[in-house]
Amino acid sequence: MLVNYEVTESVAVLTMQQAPVNGLGLPLRKALREMLHKAFDDATIKGVVLTGGEKVFSAGADIEEFEAGLDGPNFADPYLGSLVDLVEAAGKPVVAAISGVCLGGGLELVLGCHYRVADSSARFGLPEVNLGILPGAGGTQRLPRLIGVEGALDLIVSGEMVDCERAVSLGLIDRVLVDEAEGTAVKKAVQLALEAASSGHWPRLRDVVIRMQANELSQLIEAKIATLRKPLPAALQCIDAVSWSVTLPFEEALGKEYAALRELMASAESQALRHAFFAERRAGKIQGISREVPVRAVTSVAVIGAGTMGSGIAMCCANAGMPVMLLDTSEEAVQRGLQGLAANYGAAIKRGRLTTEVADRRLRLISGSTDFSRIGSADLVIEAVYEDMAVKESVFRAIDSFAQPDAILASNTSTLDLDAIAGFTSRPQDVVGLHFFSPANLMRLLEVVRGAKTRDEVLASAMQFARKIGKVGVVAGVCDGFIGNRMFEEYLRQAYFLLDEGATPLQVDRALEDWGMAMGPLATMDLAGNDIGLAIRKRRKIEQPDRPYSAIPDLVAEMGRFGQKTGAGWYRYDPVTRKRQADPEIDSLVLEYGARNHIARREISDEEIVARCLFALANEGALILREGIAQRASDIDTVYLNGYGFPAHRGGPMFYADKIGLPNVLARIEGFQAGYMGELWQPASLLTELGETGQSFASV
């Protein structure tokens, strides 16, 4: 039974029971309609309580229905909007009793109710904009009537979730129950329904008239648009739709909202964002490992290396409520790491992201030491030291000596051979890669690297740990750079070769940023450190002496221009704002290099910059897929969306290539073979096969 129906004190209590999150797919919508009519048609029923139970109200629409298109079950009768209308128009009061998440269509259903009761576990939001659409069941019209236009714009355009306390301050709920027994929300909702029934009247949000001057509305809209870094169609449409709650009659606005939803669902941006959503879900599924594989509990962690990365990893664990031991070889390094952690938490308090109480509690979970024997109590030991194999060997031999027998041993290496590192221990089956991205406490991506001897239970445990600390875990195989950095090197190489031929650093970065990348490749290296790139290229020249690179980035690094940390790299940086400025010295260096090496400079279009850099990513991704380094193309997209600033509305490099069409990508790469460094453009065999047969990466 999808909706349980029972009567309490002449009130029908309808409890949604569609596990796990009461997704409002067609079956649940039909069941709700049936039970609502049953309650409305029964003369003995005075009111209705709608609830999702004690753990969750509803996480909203069944997003899988979206993939069936505009003629699919998402728009089938009863459409959610008509169900909300049915609730609102009822001749009996309907009260929502809310526990747990109440998102998207779930919140729109709540807005159709006449009263809202919630307990302190309730969480509210309209996240549709994150899927490239808008709330299409009346949310853009009822929410402004309940909490005001400004509050509605904030919630709908941001797509963010708010807790119960914030919901109360916004006026989203009528009564909040704090620290009361489970089930109390339903009991209070029953009382409220009876009170409303006896009074003979109850409010309907559609009847609320918003009175706002045109200039006031215009100012709110302009202010909201100004906060958007790169306005996408869905965000702009959400703003328009909320404005209709002021300027149009309710029914007319509902019709326009519905039409806008259908138009957005068919858009390229929404398709890409929905792909990103499902890709992230799929990434958690490990091919070849049974769900019955036992998982090791990780309740305490030791992190070796108290630098920026190690401290960030410690912060991730403490934020998840786990005690952490932060170790380094000197007391000075340990104290510097602990002080950095305290500063990070202090900054979060100043920005209003944490209370002092929460920050203090998390800080107390982190302790420091130089005594490596203290890792013996940790369930997981993470190495986060300098990217040098000799240093890794020393650390892992120490870990092997002191870690408890069933501990998971992890390396944060970004490029080195994990199997070689595992070989420094007597238990390579317990070694896994946990490649965090900097800053570790903020970046969502975690590459979980499966070594040749990594046990299934260790890999599954590492993925569970990723979820526990709020990361998006993606399984990768062992190779130089794993998924993300291996592909990024090809992206960078093309960026550098473009400088050889005629582009400037600013042109390369702006072309890719205008296309949607969060940061251009050269600005990214200034942030990461050009000295790091130089060290990698020096190692490459030893290991792969025939692998060609532009020498320009080496010249920049050898000038001591390591990037933001030295105040200058590819750009100069303001010491206070860190704002970048193009530097004539670098532009001259680029010109002189080309002249000295007799490279004919030419005008390069922004389109060519984007195509060369992005198709280099996709081509290397095809090699990674064929080699089994990545489980699926969508995993590669998840890596780039969460770790490399790839724009979500483009779906990821592999999805983007699929949308361009692999035959077209293949033809462009073959065209690049006739140009500068054309011998490097060797189409991956998988790309060639798929391109010639008209298939996609998604089909692999």
How many C-beta atoms surround the C-beta of residue 183 within 10 A?
14
Give CA torsion, residues 611, 617, 620, 622, to 10 deg. Answer: -80
Answer yes or no: 108 catalytic: yes
As a residue count, the chain comes to 700
Closest CA to 540 of 497, 481, 623: 481
Cα angle value 450/282/696 (rounded, 5°):
100
Q: Which of 147, 126, 148 is nearest to 137 (CA)?
A: 126
**Catalytic position from the list 108, 383, 490, 620:** 108
Residue partners of 222: CB distance under 8 A and separation at least 6: none
Amino acid code (one letter) for 643: G
Q: Which residues contact 36 (CB under 8 A, 6 or more apart)?
A: 14, 48, 83, 86, 87, 90
Q: Euclidean distance between the first and final Cα of the chain, in Å?
A: 38
Helix (H, G, I), strand (E, B), or coil: what is residue 416?
coil
Q: Are strands 431-436 and 408-411 parallel, antiparallel or unpaired?
A: parallel
Rounded Cα distance between 186 and 119, Å, is 10
Q: Identify whether the C-beta of residue 649 lies closer than 8 Å to the C-beta of residue 516.
A: yes
Query: Does the annotation mark 128 as catalytic?
Result: yes
Q: What single-letter amino acid sits at 421? A: I
Whole-angstrom Cα distance, residue 266 to residue 130? 15
Q: Smallest Cα–Cα separation from 665: which of 697, 625, 633?
A: 697
Give dist(CA 695, CA 700) in Å, integer: 9
> What does the block give as tokens for 603?
């005008």
Environment class of 444 (CB within 10 Å of its CB; exposed 0-12, middle 13-18, buried 19+): middle
Per DSSP, 644 falls in state S
Q: Which amino acid, 679?
A: E
Quote the DSSP letter at residue 130.
G
Which of helix, strand or coil describes residue 186?
helix
DSSP 573-615: E-TTT--EEE-HHHHHHHHHHHHHTTPPP----HHHHHHHHHH
> Which residue among the candidates 88, 128, 447, 490 is catalytic per the annotation?
128
Q: What residues are labeled active site?
A: 108, 128
